[in-house]
Amino acid sequence: MPRPKRGKVTAPTPERVIRVAFIGAGARATMSHYPSIRDLPGAELCAIAELDAGRMRKAAEQFGVKATYASHREMLEKERPDVVYAIMPPHHLYDVAFAVLSAGCHLIIEKPPAVTTEQTRQLAVLARKKGLITGVTFQRRYCPVVRAAKKLCEERGPVHSAVATFYKNSVGAGPYYGGAMDILTCDAIHAVDTLRYLCGGEVKSVASDVRRLLADHFTAHYALVRFDSGVTGVLLTNWMTGRRFFTFEVHGTGISAFGDPEEGGRVYADNKKEPLRTLEPFELAASKEPYRAYGEYDMNAHFLSCIRRGVQPETNFDDAVKTMELVDRVYQSQI
């Protein structure tokens, strides 16, 4: 007989293993999230739902997952996981996310959280009604280099300014997913969320310049953002540059950090030419694995810790709404 529908979920006890199911077995999921869950103590990869049978079989064999499904609804009904990771293109996500929350499962999703801010807001509303824990994988803010740089600067006092940049070389390429998503919402949103994290507080005002550089879609986004924390943030994204860079700056009184979550960073202070501290991602992570050095492991550890404790993660759906709202304001506040 089918089991009764699942009601409100309580957090797993400290002694119980958290059962994690995945919807999606693409490269992003299997390179970052699957190995993170595999490595986390007290977590079990219990099931995979994926439309591509070959891709699902490969992931199941690689990570030792016995239960596989072509239907995520069947997986939810039969497996009753504690948390579901839905990792798929954003314009395919909403209905799946709605189904997972409606089934009473905690939910973690890839960025962006939806196509529109209103979709993100509605998922957040549903999660609150169901009493569920949610998370969005804005992993840049969890990167050891970013965390260490911010902490070192804040030890000198309040941060007064920060910069987040994301550059890529997409010269000649078309828009994302054939035009289903714009670059800022779909990908450069990582820089938007990182800027929010570095600056803290709520957005007060935005002045921006958005351009269709060398393309029929928006490829460059620049913004000056004032936060009620007193911090001024600068956002710089451009997909028509020489190469891929994701960089950040944090500035406080007499101290500055410049870094790249993947290439490392340096912290300078007191007008000295030699760095106060060099930040090396693999050293900070104590691992040679990219998913540990670049933030995914720490992020997923945070998610599962929050599920176990019954609290919302740092990048929950309600917080993701604020990141999406800042994306909107960049478009709406052009000079």
| pLDDT tens per residue, range 291-305 | 999 999 999 999 999
Q: Within this chain, do residues 32 and 179 fall inside the same structural domain, yes or no?
A: no
Question: Residue 129 domain-assigned?
Answer: yes
270 torsion bin: left (phi>0), alpha (psi -120 to 50), beta (else): left
Q: For residue 326, is it within any domain?
A: yes
Under the banding of pLDDT at 50, 70 and 90, the label for residue 16 is: confident
Per-residue confidence band for 14, with pLDDT thresholds at 50, 70 and 90: low
The mean per-residue pLDDT over the stretch 149-177 comes to 97
Q: Does residue 256 belong to any structural domain of this protein?
A: yes
**Res. 42: pLDDT tops 70:** yes
CATH number (domain holding residue 278): 3.30.360.10
* 77, 111, 138 - which closes a domain: 138
Confidence category of residue 15, pLDDT binned at 50, 70, 90:
low
| DSSP characters over 186-209 | HTTHHHHHHHHHHH-S-EEEEEEE
Q: Domain for residue 227, yes or no?
A: yes
Contacts of 155 (CB under 8 A, 6+ apart): none
Name the token pair of 54.
């070959």
Domain end, chosen from 105, 138, 171, is at: 138
- Bridging pattern class, strands 159-169 and 240-252: antiparallel
* pLDDT attached to residue 32: 96
Determine the pLDDT at residue 1. 32
Q: Are residues 69 and 212 in the same domain?
A: no
Which positions ≥6 away from 172 have C-beta within 8 Å? none
Instruction: Report the alpha-carbon angle 241-247-250, nearest 5.
Output: 140
**Cα four-point dihedral sign 252, 255, 258, 264:** negative
Average confidence (pLDDT) over 132-141: 98
**Is 2's pLDDT higher than 80?**
no
**Phi, psi angle pair for 61, to nearest 5°:** -70, -40
pLDDT score, position 146: 98
Q: What is the pLDDT of residue 11?
A: 52
* Res 5: pLDDT: 40
Q: How far apart are CA 136 and CA 109, in angstroms?
A: 5
What is the spatial distance between Cα 322 and Cα 270, in angstroms, rounded to a whole number? 35
- For 191, half-sphere exposure in the C-beta direction (CA atoms, 13 angstrom radius) is 32
Mean pLDDT across the stretch 267-273? 98
Q: What is the pLDDT of residues 81-125, one digit of tens each?
A: 999 999 999 999 999 999 999 999 999 999 999 999 999 999 999
Q: Is 259 a domain residue?
A: yes
Q: Is residue 298 part of a domain?
A: no
- Are 146 and 282 part of one and the same domain? yes
Whether residue 133 has pLDDT greater than 80: yes
Do 247 and 279 reside in the same domain of the chain?
yes
Task: Please give the average per-residue pLDDT across 230-237, as a whole number.
Answer: 98
Can you tell me whether residue 327 is helix, strand or coil?
helix
Sheet holding 18-23, edge to edge: 67-69, 43-49, 18-23, 83-86, 106-109, 134-136
For residue 185, pLDDT beyond 50: yes
Angle between helices 189-199 and 317-332 (to 10 degrees): 110
Query: What is the predicted pLDDT for the residue at 9?
Result: 45
Kindly report the CATH number assigned to the domain that includes residue 42: 3.40.50.720
Domain count, the chain: 2
Mean pLDDT of 151-173: 97
Say whether both 147 and 258 belong to one domain.
yes
Contact 235, 164 (CB under 8 A): yes
- Is residue 180 situated within a structural domain? yes
Tens digit of each residue's pLDDT (9 = 90 or more) over 49-78: 999 999 999 999 999 999 999 999 999 999
Q: Within this chain, do residues 124 and 154 fall inside the same structural domain, yes or no?
A: no
pLDDT at 183 over 60: yes
pLDDT at 6: 42
Which residues are bridge partners to 18 per DSSP? 43
Based on the fold, state whether residues 78 and 155 are members of the same structural domain.
Answer: no
Asked whether residue 312 is domain-assigned, the answer is no
* Full domain range(s) for residue 275: 140-287+317-332
Query: Last residue of a domain, which of 138, 154, 175?
Result: 138
